Amino acid sequence: MRYVYLLLVIVGAILPWTYFYAWFAENGWSLGPMIDAWYVNDATTALVYDLTIAAVALTIWALVEAFTKKDWVFLLVIPATYGIGVSCGLPLALFLKARPGRAAA
pLDDT at res. 88? 98
pTM: 0.89
Instruction: Count the Cβ atoms, other than its own, within 10 Å of residue 6.
Output: 15
Q: How confident is the model at residue 76 (pLDDT cuts 50, 70, 90)?
A: very high
pLDDT digits (tens, 9 = 90+) for 33-47: 999 999 999 999 999
Classify 17 in phi/psi space as left (phi over 0), alpha (psi -120 to 50) or beta. Answer: alpha
The yes-or-no verdict on residue 104 having pLDDT over 80 is no
CA dihedral 38, 88, 83, 53 (to 10 degrees): 50
Instruction: Count the Cβ atoms, other than its own, within 10 Å of residue 71.
Output: 16
